[in-house]
């Protein structure tokens, strides 16, 4: 291709880029992907201009001849799928992200062979007819459910083999995570409102009864006030747990930086929970040899041990004993040393199908039993977020009728003398 011709194809691409940019800005959508996409369109202009030549001269021995390396490099580095088709919707160029999404996508084959999406194909026709860019949606169900916003724009080519014929460029933006997050947020608000509404309705009912039929009935008043107190406490616990969860989530990306001794924390919590365990006839013990230093937030780690012991006593107390144990362990995959905190009970255990969901907010195996025990369904969600913040792992193992063991494994913090410095005085 002559130098002048190539320059003019670049100019055309620049105009197209500006067009897309103006379109996006006009709609208030000039965001990161769009800017990146515009850059690629700019380079693609040069590339497409040389495409005719590359088709002619490219041979197996010189596969890259004529390809515009800047365009290729840019395309390859765009994390979102980008597809370029001609006016017959035949694929001219794709980037690796597009190939990963649509493995059957082939150069010089109709796009419809790989992308069975009538809205997208109609969109290409419309863009070619009107010259105006548009957005549509592309969803997949297999292998997983995903949703993409497809931005379709015309790319006029004034010269070269494809001269005068506009091509069409498609940018796909993955909306899957954003949609999942939105669904989780909606579920969370619905669950939290429901959890609060139940005790609130009960409180309102008793207040009306106390103002009406039970006004002059002192024994009934005493009884109702007792129930009202329990319901109010339940609401307070729920609000406390919700606040803890949001505080922990806010800090989850900032790992703690101060060394603390997990042995001391476990022993302190075992002492605190002793009375609850004794009331329920559960023998609570702790086994830990020396100090186990980790980089941690003391209050948060206390919360982890508290929640795990409380659950073991509440749901596994029928086994008669709960054991807290600390030990060093080495991760088989990474070879890194860790400190494992295990809380084991010998209760009824948990059926396997529930285990992966236990750390979801408000997930309970038995809602009524959790409520009777004063549970909010947020305990293990809080534990999981704290463990995540500490860059640890949470493993729940359970055998029905034999009991449950919950392990939290934290990276060990070991510098010369740390264990000795943190160890409790003898």
Q: What is the CA radius of gyration of the chain?
A: 31
Q: Answer yes or no whether residue 172 interacts with ligand ADP by CB under 6 A.
A: no
> Segment near ligand ADP (CB under 6 A), from 44-52, 172-180, 284-292, 342-350?
342-350
Residue 370 within binding range of ligand ADP, rule CB under 6 A: yes
Residue 210, exposed/middle/buried by CB under 10 A (0-12, 13-18, 19+)?
middle
Q: Which residue in the set 33, 45, 317, 375 belongs to the binding site for ligand ADP (CB under 6 A)? A: 375
Asked if 350 contacts 400 with a C-beta cutoff of 8 angstroms, the reply is yes
The piece of 80-88, 170-178, 285-293, 358-366 that touches ligand ADP (CB under 6 A) is 358-366
Dihedral sign for Cα 366, 371, 375, 378, please.
Answer: positive
What whole-number distance in Å separates Cα of residue 401 and Cα of residue 378? Answer: 24
345 belongs to the binding site for ligand ADP (CB under 6 A): yes
Pick the piece of the chain touching ligand ADP (CB under 6 A) from 50-58, 120-128, 189-197, 308-316: 308-316
Crossing angle between the packed helical segments 298-316 and 262-279, to the nearest 10 degrees: 30
Contact between 282 and ligand ADP (CB under 6 A)?
no
| Backbone dihedral region for residue 299 (phi beyond 0: left; psi -120 to 50: alpha; all else: beta) | alpha
Size of the site for ligand ADP (CB under 6 A): 21
Give dist(CA 236, CA 246) in Å, integer: 15
CA dist 303 and 282 (Å) reads 20
Is residue 125 a contact point for ligand ADP (CB under 6 A)?
no
Residue 152 binds ligand ADP, judged by CB under 6 A: no
Using CA atoms of 66, 71, 76, 80 in order, give the dihedral in degrees to the nearest 10: -140
The residue from 347, 386, 407, 409 that contacts ligand ADP (CB under 6 A) is 347
Choose one: 56-64, 68-76, 87-95, 371-379; the region binding ligand ADP (CB under 6 A). Answer: 371-379
Q: Does 37 bind ligand ADP (CB under 6 A)?
A: no
Token output for 116: 């069975």
Residue with Cβ nearer ligand ADP (47 or 362): 362
**Closer by beta carbon to ligand ADP, 18 or else 190:** 190
Q: How far is the CB of 369 from ligand ADP (least distance, A)?
A: 7
Which residues form the interface with ligand ADP (CB under 6 A)?
Answer: 307, 311-312, 315-316, 345, 347, 350, 358, 364-366, 370, 375-381, 404
């Amino acid at each position: 291709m002559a130098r002048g011709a190539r320059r003019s194809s670049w100019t055309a691409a620049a105009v197209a880029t500006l067009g897309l940019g103006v379109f996006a800005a006009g709609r208030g959508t000039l965001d990161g992907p769009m800017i990146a996409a515009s850059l690629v369109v700019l380079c693609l202009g040069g590339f497409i201009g040389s495409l005719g030549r590359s088709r002619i001269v490219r041979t197996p021995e010189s596969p890259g001849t004529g390809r515009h390396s800047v365009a290729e490099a840019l395309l390859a580095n765009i994390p979102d799928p980008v597809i370029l088709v001609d006016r017959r919707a035949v694929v001219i160029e794709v980037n690796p992200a597009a190939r990963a999404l649509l493995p059957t996508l082939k150069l010089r084959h109709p796009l419809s062979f790989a992308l069975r999406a009538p809205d997208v194909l109609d969109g290409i026709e419309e863009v070619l007819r009107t010259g105006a860019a548009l957005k549509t949606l592309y969803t997949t169900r297999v292998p997983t459910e995903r949703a993409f916003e497809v931005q379709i724009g015309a790319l006029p080519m004034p010269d070269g083999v494809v001269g005068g014929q506009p091509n069409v460029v498609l940018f796909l933006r993955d909306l899957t995570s954003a949609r999942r997050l939105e669904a989780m947020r909606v579920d969370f608000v619905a669950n939290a409102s429901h959890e609060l509404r139940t005790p609130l309705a009960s409180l309102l009912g008793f207040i009306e009864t106390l103002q009406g039929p039970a006004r002059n009935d002192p024994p009934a008043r005493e009884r109702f006030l007792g129930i009202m107190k329990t319901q109010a406490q339940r609401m307070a616990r729920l609000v406390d747990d919700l606040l803890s969860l949001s505080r922990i989530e806010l800090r989850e990306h900032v790992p703690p930086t101060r060394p603390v001794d997990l042995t001391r924390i476990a022993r302190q919590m075992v002492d605190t929970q002793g009375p609850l365990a004794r009331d329920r006839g559960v023998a609570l013990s702790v086994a830990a040899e020396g100090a186990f230093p980790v980089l941690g937030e003391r209050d948060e780690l206390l919360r982890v041990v508290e929640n795990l012991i409380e659950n073991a006593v509440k749901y596994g107390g029928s086994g008669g004993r709960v054991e807290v144990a600390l030990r060093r362990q080495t991760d088989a995959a990474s070879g890194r040393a860790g400190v494992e905190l295990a809380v084991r009970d010998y209760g009824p255990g948990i059926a396997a199908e529930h285990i992966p969901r236990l750390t979801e907010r408000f997930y309970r195996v038995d809602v009524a039993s959790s409520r009777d025990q004063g549970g909010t369904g947020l305990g293990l969600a809080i534990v999981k977020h704290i463990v995540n913040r500490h860059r640890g792992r949470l493993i729940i193992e359970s055998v029905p009728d034999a009991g449950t063991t919950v392990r939290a494994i934290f990276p060990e913090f070991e510098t010369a003398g740390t264990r000795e410095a943190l160890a409790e005085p003898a």
